[in-house]
A = this chain, B = another copy of it.
Amino acid sequence: MKYTIGIDLGGTNIAAGLVDEENRLLAKTSVPTHAQRPWREIGKDMAALAKALLHQEGIDDSQVTSIGVGSPGTPDSKQGVVLFSGNLGWDRVPVAKELSRLTGKPVFLANDANCAALAEGKVGAGKGLSSLVLVTFGTGIGAGILLNGRIYEGFNFGAGEFGHMVICSGEEPCTCGRRGCWEAYASMTALVRQAKRTAREHPRSVLSRLAHSGEGLNGRNVFEAAKGGDAAAKGVVDRFLQYVSDGVVNVINILQPQAVLIGGALANEGEYVLSPVRKTAERDAFCRNNVLPRICCAALGNDAGILGAALLGR
């Protein structure tokens, strides 16, 4: 049996997983990134993590055909260099070459959101499809594009930034410097901000009570309050889901992939989110022959990054 190793290099943790020829994630392990360290130390930890994983599973090094790394920011997948990553504080770091030197294996590199899209397309919710867009709704909005069964990166490795697509020109400021980005309206951070505003306007609402509780407002309890019938929360969630839908329909009108997958914390809400998004897409998408992309939730959760990285060398 041959194996590949996938490494999901995050700003907080480095997670590694062992994947077999049938694309099954057999085991995984992780260590803290300590991103402020010199990058060579992080490289060393990545190599050690791979080695530990093999040892733990009783796999011989010779059975590993390649290692894949999913990194945040903008990696040059051809050269194996992380061109830029804010989370890691990296600027032109040749991480693939270094890891290859340390492990003796071919090392492949891609953006973490793109790895996740690849995994969903090969073994997840989009299994068997040749094109899909995975949109991850969490602190921000990340996205990965799969076309013809391959990651689409654009000419400068930066494609797929649907989160920084303006949907409300000139309005809400975004962390990227633009105003009105989808991320500023449809990320979980944006939901909580919208909920806080509404809580202040409706001091007797469940939303307001939650805002003043020890827990405070978060994506999960705002959705729960809406499902529980709180009018203020329902208003916030309905408007939020309209923003989510606006962006999803944009994705469809622009790329017409076979599927749009919703990932991240928002996917936890399942049909409560999918149903209104699908309804809006059926009404609004520019599909003159009425063949709509499938809209569903991502299937692999946090494993998508590791799995996709492991699949890079295939």
B residues within 8 A CB of A287? 156, 158
Does A160 reach chain B (CB closer than 8 Å)?
A: yes
Chain A, 77-105, CB within 8 A of any chain B CB: 83-84, 86
User: Known: A147-B147, A246-B166. Contact between A158 and B254, CB under 8 A?
Assistant: no
How many residues does chain A have at the interface if contact means C-beta atoms less than 8 Å apart? 51
Cα of A284 to Cα of B73 in the assembled complex, Å = 17
Neighbour of A289 across the interface among B74, B249, B289, CB < 8 A: B74
Does A30 reach chain B (CB closer than 8 Å)?
A: no
Cα of A140 to Cα of B170 in the assembled complex, Å = 22
Does A255 reach chain B (CB closer than 8 Å)?
A: yes
B165-A288 in contact (CB<8A): no
Cα of A166 to Cα of B289 in the assembled complex, Å = 20
A residues neighboring B (CB under 8 Å): 73-74, 83-84, 86, 130-131, 147, 152-162, 164-170, 176-178, 180, 185, 242-243, 246, 249-250, 253-258, 283-284, 286-289, 291-293
- What DSSP secondary structure best describes chain A's contact surface? loop
Q: Would you list the 3 A-B pairs with minimal beta carbon distance, nearest first?
A: A154-B256, A159-B256, A84-B288
A166-B131 in contact (CB<8A): no
User: Known: A147-B152, A177-B284. Contact between A158 and B246, CB under 8 A?
Assistant: no
Question: Closest CB of chain B to A298's CB: distance in Å?
Answer: 19
A286-B155 in contact (CB<8A): no
Interface centre among A73, A162, A243, A284 (most CB of B within 10 A): A284
Sampled A-B contacts (11; CB under 8 Å):
A131-B154, A153-B256, A156-B289, A159-B254, A162-B254, A165-B253, A166-B167, A167-B180, A169-B242, A169-B243, A178-B249
B242-A164 in contact (CB<8A): no
User: Known: A169-B246, A249-B178. Contact between A286 and B164, CB under 8 A?
Assistant: yes
Cα of A192 to Cα of B243 in the assembled complex, Å = 28
B289-A159 in contact (CB<8A): no
A254-B288 in contact (CB<8A): no
Neighbour of A253 across the interface among B74, B164, B169, CB < 8 A: B164
Neighbour of A254 across the interface among B185, B254, B286, CB < 8 A: B254
B residues within 8 A CB of A74? 288-289
